[in-house]
Amino acid sequence: MMNSTRTLHAFEPDLVPAEALASALGCPCHLITHHAFPDGESLVRIVPSGPGAILYRRLDQPNGKLVELLLAADALAVANPRPALAVPYLPYMRQDAAFHPGEAVSQRVIGRLLGQAFSTIATIEPHLHRVDRLDTILPGATALALSAAPALAELVGTAVARPLLVGPDGESARLVGALAERTACDWFTLEKRRLGDRSVSQELPPHASIAGRHVLLVDDICSTGVTLAEAARLIASAGAASIEALVVHANFDRTAAALMRDADIARVRSTDTLAHPSNAVSVTSLLAGALQRTFP
């Protein structure tokens, strides 16, 4: 049954998951057309709609996509003072402070732009560190930071019975703990110190018992694969019977995949917040439920 007020709008690369979300919301899905001028500038054109417009966008490789997103938001704003945004993966969240003189705080910059353009922003497992609440990053918008635990729980159920869940660092504790609560699995996190973009140091917590256990490494995002690979080597050396990985945002390439295979991670599975060969479970129901509750 179609919703009489909502409409969903998406760019062509995101049309398949957008159509699934529109079906879950009971509303039509319209294609946003894009034209690139010879000088590299973009022109976007939306299907005009009334109040209740939602824009869907996956924001991996975000720089060009962010410009197109803001243009589409402005076009939708003719009938919607500020439309809603369903953005499964929200980029630029890791730079939440100026770590060296002269650096921009990209989290604040991107958050301000999106908060001004959209009334409601729904995302999954934003990569937050020193900021606890997403709404402080998105001024003026209703921020929906959704846990991926319900989606990942479906994957835990297809693994071995009662695996040991391990987070590669303290920042993963909230996600791993929520997943453990849903699946009645034991869990802990490693202690990590980042030495550079591709170098980390990790330690097992005191009294960690791994020998003979089937381990699922759980993290919100995988990009270089270094953190999960180092965690796997440490866990393997402690006697794990097998190692797999579950990630929310699969932002890694073939080189990272090979690095993790070489570290004895038998399989990496992910949600479909980003399109990736490792996708194994959909986040459509998470986004649809949040939007149905919050956005009229």
pLDDT of residue 123: 97
* DSSP letters spanning 150-215: HHHHHHHTTSSSSPEEEESSGGGHHHHHHHHHHHT--EEE-EEEEEETTEEEEEPPTT---TT-EE
Do 256 and 288 reside in the same domain of the chain?
no
Do 268 and 162 reside in the same domain of the chain?
yes
Do 258 and 243 reside in the same domain of the chain?
yes
Residue 160 banded pLDDT, cuts 50, 70, 90: low
**Distance between CA 270 and CA 272 in Å, rounded?**
7
Nearest to 69 by CA among 81, 52, 86: 86
pLDDT, mean of residues 190-210: 72
Do 23 and 143 reside in the same domain of the chain?
yes
**Side chain identity at residue 151, one-letter code:** A
Nearest to 246 by CA among 146, 173, 167, 145: 167
Residue 260 banded pLDDT, cuts 50, 70, 90: very high
**Side chain identity at residue 136, one-letter code:** T
Residue 277 resides in a domain: no
Backbone angles phi, psi at 18, to 5 degrees: -65, -40
pLDDT of residue 99: 81
Lowest mean pLDDT among 36-40, 92-96, 107-111, 122-126: 92-96
pLDDT of residue 39: 95
Do 121 and 227 reside in the same domain of the chain?
no
Do 142 and 289 reside in the same domain of the chain?
yes
Question: What tokens appear for 224 in the block?
Answer: 């270089």
| Opening angle at CA 217, ends 215 and 222, nearest 5 | 155
Do 139 and 13 reside in the same domain of the chain?
yes
**Distance between CA 265 and CA 228 in Å, rounded?**
9
Backbone angles phi, psi at 117, to 5 degrees: -90, -25
Residue 256 banded pLDDT, cuts 50, 70, 90: very high
Q: What is the pTM of this model?
A: 0.91
Do 262 and 219 reside in the same domain of the chain?
yes
Do 139 and 12 reside in the same domain of the chain?
yes
Nearest to 63 by CA among 94, 17, 106: 106
The string of pLDDT tens digits covering residues 205-236 is 877 889 999 999 999 999 999 999 999 999 99
Residue 200 banded pLDDT, cuts 50, 70, 90: low
**Average pLDDT of the chain to the nearest whole number:** 91
Do 44 and 32 reside in the same domain of the chain?
yes
Do 101 and 165 reside in the same domain of the chain?
no
Residue 84 banded pLDDT, cuts 50, 70, 90: very high
Domain count along the chain: 2
The string of pLDDT tens digits covering residues 56-69 is 999 999 999 999 99
Structural domain of residue 263, as residue ranges?
149-272
C-alpha pair distances (Å), 161 with each of 153, 193, 260, 269: 13, 31, 23, 17
